[in-house]
Amino acid sequence: MDFTLQFPDRDIKILQITDMQVIDSSQQRYPDRLRQDEYEKWLPETKEKNLYCYIRELVARTTPDLIIITGDITYGEFDDSGKSLEEFIDFMDSFGIPWAPVYGNHDNETYIGVEKQNAMYENSKHGIFKKGNVFGNGNYSIAIKQGEKIIRTICMMDSNGCGKLGIAQGFREDQLEWLKETSNECDVPLFCCFHIPTQDFSDAYIAAGYQEKSDERDTCAYYELGVDMAAKAGDFGKKYEDFYSYSAPILPVLKASRVDGVFAGHYHKINLSVVHEGIRFTMGLKTGLYDYHDKDAMGGTLITLCGKDFSVHHEYCRIAD
């Protein structure tokens, strides 16, 4: 294991936040990239009301033992100085809680480059991050330990994908081999956390009967479980945008690696949590008001570990008028 976190013999709470996409409009790379109203509402002094106040609320409400961040911390082309990322790292460290990030497709767009970003994460006071020795940046494992026993492993993975840099999304073979090898180190269940969801998410929705086929550009399914249709036991969430861009499926590797929970982000208006083939596939709630969002579905996702079992539910934040 790359990291080990020791906890007392009680339930362990993990807060997932995702797709903060901090935008500093004063750093816009291209003239007229933003409308005037966007420029004004995303000036650097607005970070508190657009993001930080909501994360504070989530942390105070859930009192997590660990925070995982499933990508797109910053909208990279609006942080070529690296200042927004530096401020965010200081903000997360202020909680005194271990926090673990992975890259999203927008994080590595900044001109400061991934090596400097990696060093910023690695040098943070309470951040947990390691570049890893396989393709991408940020493939590392976290052992969750109670007493003398490891009860679960969390694998943080880089799902890659950055059009501006020509990096194709999806996992490479060496990453999947690393996942299997990491699983073999401890005979415990495993969580897998990354940014861009795989086709397995779409397959889960179809297998559960929530939609008949995969989304296509001209025919897409939108629904809220428990409102527009009955949900199978334990499933919940909304699908309020098109879902036709995702990474290749990795279900056989997930099953071989004893994964029972997968947590992703990327889509700001999809936050479904659906069990498929014994694995819970969850897209976290978008956190904060940067970029597009569903005002009724913004916040974080709480994962509660009880021994080898776990539960998942969304923690919604009310957006101030």
Q: Are 19 and 194 in contact (CB under 8 A)?
A: no
Q: What is the mean pLDDT of residues 169-177?
A: 97
Residue 282 — pLDDT band, cuts 50, 70, 90?
very high
Percentage of the chain with pLDDT > 70?
99
Query: Tokens 């006071």 belong to which residue?
Result: 125
C-alpha span between 257 and 179 (Å, rounded): 7
- Please tell me the total number of residues recorded for the chain in this structure: 321
pTM of the model: 0.97
pLDDT tens for 40-92 read 999 999 999 999 999 999 999 999 999 999 999 999 999 999 999 999 999 99
Higher pLDDT, 166 or 46: 46
CATH value of 3-316 in 3.30.70.1710, 3.60.21.10, 3.40.250.10, 3.40.50.2300: 3.60.21.10
C-alpha span between 140 and 91 (Å, rounded): 23
Can you tell me whether residue 249 is helix, strand or coil?
coil
Alpha helices (runs of H) in the chain, residue ranges in sequence order? 36-41, 47, 53-62, 83-93, 114-122, 173-185, 199-207, 251-256
Q: What is the mean pLDDT of residues 202-210?
A: 97
Mean pLDDT of the chain: 96
CB atoms within 10 A of CB 113: 11
Q: Six-digit token pair at 180?
A: 């299997």
Q: What is the mean pLDDT of residues 270-298?
A: 97
Q: Six-digit token pair at 34?
A: 């933003």
State residue 107's pLDDT score: 95
Q: Could you tell me the CA-to-CA distances from 269 to 156, 223, 241, 266, 289 in Å, in that order?
A: 23, 11, 6, 9, 12
Task: List the chain domain ranges.
Answer: 3-316
Region class of 307: left (phi > 0), else alpha (psi between -120 and 50), else beta:
left
Question: Which amino acid belongs to residue 173?
Answer: E
Q: Tell me the DSSP string of 172-215.
A: -HHHHHHHHHHHHHSSS-EEEE-SSPBHHHHHHHHHTTS-SS--
pLDDT tens for 227-248 read 999 999 899 999 999 998 899 9
Q: Is 248 exposed, middle or buried (0-12, 13-18, 19+ CB in 10 A)?
A: exposed
Residue 321 — pLDDT band, cuts 50, 70, 90?
low
